[in-house]
Structure 1
């Protein structure tokens, strides 16, 4: 009997349908599903990792075990899905051959190896091979199963190494900062070798914003019929210079065109989507990184797009680009497809990253808009249009730089007109900003309508949006294409950041301030990048798993020496940050701080820090993590808005607690009035 092992139930179902021509039969064994293609071949869908790594049970009690002892603790494997493990043990004795067909990346290779180990415990002689594919389509799957290869054990071991290193770093550091700050239970704090440097990026950027001192400057603009020019100096940093210039321009009625430079500008198509570029583009149209990736994986499993976890930005020659475009000769993209198919040659754009594991993300089949959910369609359309744009011609612009003299003071204006839309006709997500000027010639005298002075000031650096942060993480070697969006989601769930662009909370300040001051290696991207490169060496077969885990533990032991010697200072810094996050605003009765408090019975409320002298309070929801966003209520300017995070649900913006309470009082009053009216009527 031959068994095919896939990563997920839906993937098993799709592959079995393809290989059986839609005739596969589902059977349930040991509470898990198999899809029988025939009596000698079946497909099993796992549920991601079925085996995990953990510490032995004696390390589970946080307050009874020193966090530093986790660094060198034994690592044990634990079952994560008993039903599927039981199924694998059940079918193992009769298995002659096993084909691993999990996703082809590090995690997929390890997931396949986990299943294989369980089978081999019961049947050591089973034959093993590997099917690699980048899309779940009939052509791709049939090709993969006709060209089976060997399982890449080194790739699987590199994933296992990351699993163990992330467990040890995350568990030991998380436990340490949670214990010293007394943040236990559902309010525990977290840290990790990728999470902490990423959070440090956000906190450091926020510090730059807060410490930024704006510099005033002035611009002098000249308004003519149909356009406006700016003084060639651009910015005047001294107001005296502005006054001198204005005095010189006094009484001016016209300007003379002294120079015109026209240029053709080639606007090249965007590069193919790898994971980072895809998440950046999805972020620009309103998707969080985690949501965009979740939807992309659904589209991939259903055979609509290629594998969404890839570093590649160069289409391999094996992809039939014209054949893929031809899929869209019907439906909403038919006009764009016809334009591309009319070209003699489809020459795609190329990025700098070229890998051999998976191609860039591209559509692999046509699906009607009515067959997808709204969000799924938006992501699918984004992938289709990006693919089309990479095959289209460059856009062509005509630019014009004009110099104008007003009483010997130089002014300038730039115009830009798009002459050929090229790829931009296929990809409408980037705004086209034309600056149209009237017909001008050197020597023309222009009627001056007004000289205007604009007072401005320099702006602080902007906060990171999710797309830009993922790009920055990639540049610094923080995480992988498969994990960066998960790291960002974790920062939100831990209440370290709010909003998008992302703003760190005061709790995040406290944690990063403490780590940067007393154990800076934790927040240094270089340390994380070094370990990522080490795991690459494992994948290449150049170093052993044990050696890199040993190096990682050595680094972490050094870090814990610093943490232990500064435990009291770290605790103080984190607690100060956490307390600042509990301040909601100013008490309207006495002017003292309003803070989030908990009653003896465990209920939460906003209460005055002046209690018992002041008893002002506002109710709060019974469940969910409360985050003070820092956004101030327009009506009650001394009150911050709140957000509630419940696990597994969308964040709830409670808003101003006072506005919320007043609205509740109004609704109750209305209910009582209606009840009294009804009773009076009866």
Structure 2
């Protein structure tokens, strides 16, 4: 993006009541999405030399440079969306309004939190300001809030590009904030309008179906609290998936299956062979195969394959995968994990945690992040090895155009975080190091045996290069070195057993 503005601290102001240190210096209002983000932005751009006064949300003030000239900055914030949508009073009466009429009804926008007086606050702070710089989160919702803020300040929307600018950033580190300020862009009206449309659709669909199904179910089920049975375009389909899964689990009938375990003795070690048929759901047929296998007296080695295989390093980390790992491996629920991730972001330890992308931009500075992580003894050896021997760029992931993958931006001391927050941060760091590490390389040896018309196999793995699994050991390839076999040789069968398993879970594969 073409650089549109920059902020550099000049002389500190000691009192918010003092006028700007430079007469007639233009005033720049900067608005963030949360008070904590506003504080981080002001601290980074002022070098900590600022004054703060109370308002609906705090206002941080300092002198600096903007577009090559000295300027006076005000940094404040909203608290999420300023406005929400609803129907006019004429459509609020359930009895007097047909739910179908709601789809063509007008909608009104009013303050989401009237008691916070954010609209008035922004209008007051914008008085006398020449420029507006929007520091809202860089997603569609953030773009929508940008235009809500513009509306509140009273600065004409057609001043976008002249007086109104947009800062794009993915973390609240001083480096990223300064870079965003040096490369201001324009807010995206199309994305903002997309959110307007989504809000109106959610309102009309949600209210219309809520009223319809509440009336429909009233009195039909004695144990149903039918005062309000709400419908949501997201929540109701999700509930449908949950109910469907619940019914599948409850109606599932456990089944028994049987398989053969064939054993041989080689170089003093007992080796279990895998049956090519996997399993059967008929016990008598399984017994028949058990009797057929030893009929040849020995197993003949029919094939040996040795090939080098690769376990690929992971792509960049997005929100969905972070929450999956937090839930399944760390025992942290999605809501708690997201709250922790947002807190880590606000503290400047990680990049923006709400992203669908797993691909890094071509200009991403991987070496800088690695240099930061090199000072933690938990993974310093891995990082220094990568920096000395050469790291690789992450796999080509999916770029949806929102934010880069979740990345550690600053080294966090363990004692500064709560236990679970540290574990989440530690995983984010290990995942990033894994993405720039080499793939895991291993040799796979497969030996095929035949007897009685049945095929059996044993497979061995020998790791030749751990690659990313040295920093992510839970993804390591299990080593299993096989003894030496020769194609065409025969080997005595030690025993052939039948083992029984009950298919207990609906999620278990049902193969025959």
TM-score normalised by structure 1 residue count = 0.62
| Residue correspondence of structure 1 range 412-431 to structure 2 within 5 A | 412-430=457-475
- The whole-number CA distance in structure 2 between the counterparts of 1:209 and 1:457 is 15
> Which 5+ residue runs of structure 2 have no aligned equivalent?
1-26, 64-70
Give yes or no for the alignment of 1:228 onto 2:272: yes
Give yes or no for the alignment of 1:21 onto 2:66: no
Give yes or no for the alignment of 1:359 onto 2:395: no
Is the CA contact 2:295–2:452 (under 8 Å) kept in the aligned structure 1?
A: no
- The whole-number CA distance in structure 2 between the counterparts of 1:432 and 1:58 is 66
1:297 aligned partner: 342
| Residue correspondence of structure 1 range 474-513 to structure 2 within 5 A | none
- The whole-number CA distance in structure 2 between the counterparts of 1:119 and 1:6 is 14
2:392 to 343, 346, 349: 346
Is the CA contact 2:132–2:163 (under 8 Å) kept in the aligned structure 1?
A: yes
1:308 to 353, 371, 382: 353
Is the CA contact 2:391–2:437 (under 8 Å) kept in the aligned structure 1?
A: no
1:388 aligned partner: 433
2:420 aligned partner: 375
Is the CA contact 1:63–1:179 (under 8 Å) kept in the aligned structure 2?
A: no
Give yes or no for the alignment of 1:160 onto 2:210: no
2:234 aligned partner: 194
| Residue correspondence of structure 1 range 420-459 to structure 2 within 5 A | 420-430=465-475, 432-442=477-487, 446=491, 448-456=493-501
RMSD: 2.9
Question: Which range moves more in the overlay, 124-133 or 69-78?
Answer: 124-133
Q: Secondary structure at the match of 1:314?
A: coil
1:143 to 179, 189, 195: 179
Query: Structure 1 338/187 Cα, relative in aligned 2: closer, same or farther at 3 Å?
Result: farther
Q: Secondary structure at the match of 2:463?
A: strand
- Deviations along 1:59-96, one digit per CA (max 9) or x if unpaired, are 44546644333322221111123332221122232222
1:203 positional shift: 3.0
2:59 to 34, 41, 45: 34
Question: Which range moves more in the overlay, 158-167 or 247-256?
Answer: 247-256
2:365 aligned partner: 320
- Deviations along 1:563-593, one digit per CA (max 9) or x if unpaired, are xxxxxxxxxxxxxxxxxxxxxxxxxxxxxxx
- The whole-number CA distance in structure 2 between the counterparts of 1:462 and 1:408 is 32
Query: Structure 1 123/250 Cα, relative in aligned 2: closer, same or farther at 3 Å?
Result: closer
Q: Secondary structure at the match of 2:58?
A: strand
Query: Structure 1 172/424 Cα, relative in aligned 2: closer, same or farther at 3 Å?
Result: same
1:404 positional shift: 2.5
1:103 positional shift: 0.8
1:647 aligned partner: none
Give yes or no for the alignment of 1:97 onto 2:142: no
> Which 5+ residue runs of structure 1 have no aligned equivalent?
464-682
- The whole-number CA distance in structure 1 between the counterparts of 2:131 and 2:241 is 49
Is the CA contact 2:88–2:108 (under 8 Å) kept in the aligned structure 1?
A: yes
1:333 to 342, 364, 379: 379
Alignment: residue pair count: 461
- Deviations along 1:479-527, one digit per CA (max 9) or x if unpaired, are xxxxxxxxxxxxxxxxxxxxxxxxxxxxxxxxxxxxxxxxxxxxxxxxx
Give yes or no for the alignment of 1:264 onto 2:308: yes
Q: Secondary structure at the match of 2:127?
A: helix
Q: Secondary structure at the match of 1:397?
A: strand
Query: Structure 1 334/187 Cα, relative in aligned 2: closer, same or farther at 3 Å?
Result: farther
Q: Which has the higher contact order (CA 8 A, sep 6+)?
A: 2
Query: Structure 1 450/63 Cα, relative in aligned 2: closer, same or farther at 3 Å?
Result: farther
1:273 positional shift: 1.4
- Deviations along 1:513-543, one digit per CA (max 9) or x if unpaired, are xxxxxxxxxxxxxxxxxxxxxxxxxxxxxxx
- The whole-number CA distance in structure 2 between the counterparts of 1:393 and 1:121 is 52
Is the CA contact 1:53–1:75 (under 8 Å) kept in the aligned structure 2?
A: yes
Question: Which range moves more in the overlay, 154-163 or 399-408?
Answer: 399-408
| Residue correspondence of structure 1 range 536-575 to structure 2 within 5 A | none
2:213 aligned partner: 177
Query: Structure 1 186/141 Cα, relative in aligned 2: closer, same or farther at 3 Å?
Result: farther
Is the CA contact 1:7–1:112 (under 8 Å) kept in the aligned structure 2?
A: no
Is the CA contact 1:32–1:83 (under 8 Å) kept in the aligned structure 2?
A: no
- The whole-number CA distance in structure 2 between the counterparts of 1:172 and 1:101 is 36
2:326 aligned partner: 282
- The whole-number CA distance in structure 2 between the counterparts of 1:371 and 1:338 is 24
1:9 to 35, 40, 48: 35
Q: Which structure dedicates a bigger proportion of its chain to helix?
A: 1
